[in-house]
């Protein structure tokens, strides 16, 4: 009986009695979701253009941030460090295309997926060899103060770095949307995403497109890496954030940029609400490790293509 009360009554009573805490949890969750979305965006870009699930995207985030903060530690100006890192990620995209993707063209998707696992291991070791394993704080002037907002029903804590991340994510999505819709390269990317064969038949060079899309994913990884690095310091634990991107993708759809954002917000807010109102009282906490995967699994039962993914209909 007590368990039923803790499941069905108590959480909602608490939400009503302490609305400030509810708002705090909700805002905290949504802001965490934005951070997950930043990582998920990179997965979507590559999957959309090439059908490859890039297991190495989490390491891309870490590798890009490591290069950026490493260059800054060597005395390079942040803007120059940013530009050099964009260059490094572009070179990496070129290397991935030439050394990994081209030799494996026309192989099963699982083979390409396995290849990205290899890329992940290589980049993790390579990055560690060059820059070491220390935690490196990112000091680029991102606001990090705690803001206390006195609402009518209580004091609410909001982290300014979270708000900043939200603005950056919105900006990034806008830029990507404009890029995809109003530039020739963007239109070519969409064409390739729709149909490789048709895109080739009208003269779109597939290989160049793959380099571009991996480079754009590298750029997104750099932005995500800087935001995560400003929050936690650049460290190898960042590579595990890719674990959070997977359920976000399942929810939002592997091919949808808005889906990555909405999926991230759902996962972030959902896991924080569940942890605080159900996880801690009933399960002694630590539910955030698996909650998103359970939600993703339920989604797979009812909407396998995700909220915004393309529904694949195969006729017999």
Partner 1 sequence: MLMKKLATAGLAAAVAAGAVGVAQAEDGQYIPVLSYRTGAYAPNGTPFANGYVDYFQLVNERDGGVNGVKFIVEECETGYKTDRGVECYDRLKDKNGGATVLSPWSTGTTYALIEKATNDKIPILSMGYGRTSAADGRVFPYVFNFPSTYWSQATAVVQYIANEMGGLEALKGQRFAFIYLDHPYGREPIPTFDILAERFGFTYDKYPVPPATMTEQKSIWLQIRRTKPAYAIMWGWGAMNSTAVKEAANIKFDMSRFIGNWWSAAEPDVLPAGEGAIGYKGATFNGAGTDYKVFEDLEGMSGLSDDGDRGTVLYNRGMVNAAFIVEAVRLAQEKYGKGKHVSGEQVRWALENIDLSAEDVEALGLTGLMPPTTVTCVNHEGTNPAILVQQWNGTAWEIITDWIPAMTDIVRPLIEQDAAQYAQENDITPRDCS
Does residue 143 belong to the site contacting partner 1 (CB under 8 A)? no
Collect contacts of 5-12 with beta carbons under 8 A, ≥24 apart. Answer: 6/278, 6/281, 6/282, 7/278, 7/282, 10/281, 11/277, 11/278, 11/281
Minimum CB–partner distance for residue 92 and partner 1 (Å): 15
Member of 15, 21, 51, 294 binding partner 1 (CB under 8 A): 21
Q: Would you say 297 and 241 are in contact if contact means Cβ atoms under 8 Å apart? A: no
Instruction: Write phi, then psi, for 146 (nearest 5 degrees).
Output: -85, 130
- Among 162, 166, 142, 189, which residue's Cα sits nearest to residue 261? 166
Q: Are 75 and 136 in contact (CB under 8 A)?
A: no
Instruction: Name which position in 153, 195, 289, 304 contacts partner 1 (CB under 8 A).
Output: 289
The only residue of 43, 47, 60, 131 in contact with partner 1, by rule CB under 8 A: 131
Q: Which of 32, 57, 116, 255 binds partner 1 (CB under 8 A)?
A: 32
- Of the residues 186, 233, 282, 293, which one makes contact with partner 1 according to CB under 8 A: 233
**Per CB under 8 A, 146 contacts partner 1:** yes
Number of residues in contact with partner 1, rule: CB under 8 A? 47
Closest distance of CB 174 from partner 1, Å: 26
* Residues in contact with 283: Cβ distance below 8 Å, sequence separation at least 6, in sequence order: none
Q: Is residue 28 involved in binding partner 1 (CB under 8 A)?
A: yes
**Region from 86-94, 109-117, 197-205, 275-283 binding partner 1, contact rule CB under 8 A:** 275-283
Residue 287 parent element (H or E): none
């Amino acid at each position: 009986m007590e368990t039923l009360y803790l499941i069905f009554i108590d959480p909602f009573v608490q939400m009503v009695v302490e609305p400030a805490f509810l708002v705090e949890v909700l805002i905290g969750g949504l802001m965490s979701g934005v951070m997950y979305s930043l990582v998920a965006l990179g997965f979507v870009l590559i999957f959309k253009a090439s059908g490859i699930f890039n297991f190495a995207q989490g390491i891309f985030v870490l590798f890009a941030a490591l290069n950026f903060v490493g260059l800054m530690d060597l005395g390079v100006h942040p803007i120059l460090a940013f530009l050099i890192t964009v260059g490094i990620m572009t070179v990496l995209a070129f290397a991935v295309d030439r050394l990994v993707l081209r030799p494996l063209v026309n192989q099963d998707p699982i083979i390409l997926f396995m290849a990205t696992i290899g890329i992940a291991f290589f980049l993790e070791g390579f990055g560690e060899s060059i820059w070491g394993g220390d935690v490196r704080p990112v000091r680029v002037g991102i606001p990090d103060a705690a803001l206390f907002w006195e609402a009518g029903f209580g004091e609410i804590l909001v982290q300014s770095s979270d708000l900043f991340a939200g603005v950056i994510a919105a900006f990034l999505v806008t830029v990507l949307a404009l890029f995809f819709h109003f530039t020739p390269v963007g239109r070519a990317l969409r064409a390739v995403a729709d149909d490789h064969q048709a895109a080739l038949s009208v003269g779109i060079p597939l290989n160049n497109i793959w380099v571009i899309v991996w480079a754009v994913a590298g750029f997104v990884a750099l932005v995500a890496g800087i935001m995560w690095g400003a929050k936690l310091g650049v460290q190898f634990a960042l590579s595990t954030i890719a674990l959070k991107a997977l359920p976000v993708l399942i929810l939002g759809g592997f091919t949808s940029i808005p889906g990555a954002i909405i999926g991230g917000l759902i996962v972030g807010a959902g896991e924080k609400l569940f942890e605080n109102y159900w996880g801690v009282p009933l399960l002694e906490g630590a539910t955030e490790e698996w909650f998103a995967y359970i939600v993703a699994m339920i989604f797979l039962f009812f909407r396998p293509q995700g909220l915004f993914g393309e529904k694949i209909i195969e006729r017999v």
